[in-house]
Amino acid sequence: MWKPCSRTLWLVAMLLAGCASPPSVERDASRERPADQQVKYHYALEAMKQGQLKEAESRLALLTREHPELAGPWANLCIVYTREERLEEAEKACRQALQRNDELNSVRNQLGIIYRKLGRFQDAQRIYQAALQQDPSDAKVYYNLGVLFDLYLQDNELAIQYYQRYLELTGNKDKKVKRWIAQLDKELNKSR
């Protein structure tokens, strides 16, 4: 007969042996995927930083096919396409990113820039306003709204308001924008 203590040790040994068996291939693959994604994404971003846009595009496009649920590769494809002046493709990539993660304000801001470049000023204004609803302290959006109203919609008063809010949020450090405000203010005073 087994002693109770020996029998318990035998059961513990069998359980530990079961725990020590190598994990299934399926579990290994699922653990490696995030690291693999991160490595691929890292190389795509490095290519972007180096100005190797075709390489970055190729890597990002592959990631969107392998992991279409991820917003990041779509968002960065949007930037690549914008830099290449492929604006319709950039718009589609931005929309794909927002479908996957509606909280990406930087993508809304980028989409506003794309709309502005396409001459779709009302769409740009609408998407910038949506970005401000998402994050009312996003200085870049105020800057881009200032540019939109200054250069494209010729509404100096609104341009000044947006530029001023941008300066407030960035610590009043942008001398270039301060000069723009002074110029717009001068033009407003002449027209009165």
Residues 62 and 96 in one domain: yes
One domain, residues 86 and 115: yes
Question: What pLDDT is stored for residue 33 in this prediction?
Answer: 57
> Are the C-beta atoms of residues 38 and 46 closer than 8 Å to each other?
no
Question: For the domain that residue 61 is a member of, what is the CATH number?
Answer: 1.25.40.10
Residue 45: other Cβ atoms inside 10 A: 16
Please state the domain count of the chain.
2
- DSSP state string for 132-153: HHH-TT-HHHHHHHHHIIIIIS
Rounded distance between C-alpha atoms, residue 175 and residue 180, angstroms: 9
pLDDT, one tens digit per residue, over 46-76 is: 999 999 999 999 999 999 999 999 999 999 9
* Nearest 10 degrees: Cα torsion 19, 23, 24, 26: 130
Would the pLDDT of 93 be above 90?
Answer: yes
Q: Residue 69: helix, strand or coil by DSSP?
A: coil
Best CA proximity match to 141, nearest among 180, 186, 107, 173: 107
Q: Are residues 109 and 45 in the same domain?
A: yes
User: 108-162 pLDDT, tens per residue?
Assistant: 999 999 999 999 999 999 999 999 999 999 999 999 999 999 999 999 999 999 9
Find tokens 């204004």 and name the residue: 125
- Note whether 60 and 147 are same-domain residues: no
User: Do 110 and 158 share a domain, yes or no?
Assistant: no
**Domain boundary residue among 135, 150, 175?**
135
pTM of the model: 0.77
Say if residues 176 and 163 touch (Cβ distance below 8 Å): no
Residues 119 and 103 in one domain: yes
| pLDDT higher than threshold 90 for residue 4 | no
| Co-location of 148 and 108 in the same domain | no
110 and 159 assigned to the same domain:
no
**What are the start-end ranges of the H helices in the chain?**
4-20, 25-49, 53-66, 71-83, 87-100, 105-117, 121-134, 139-147, 156-169, 175-191
Q: Which domain holds residue 186?
A: 137-192
Per residue in 30-52, pLDDT tens?
333 567 878 888 999 999 999 99
| Residue 179 to residue 183: CA distance in whole angstroms | 6
Q: In angstroms, rounded to a whole number, what is the distance separating the alpha carbons of residues 1 and 3?
A: 6
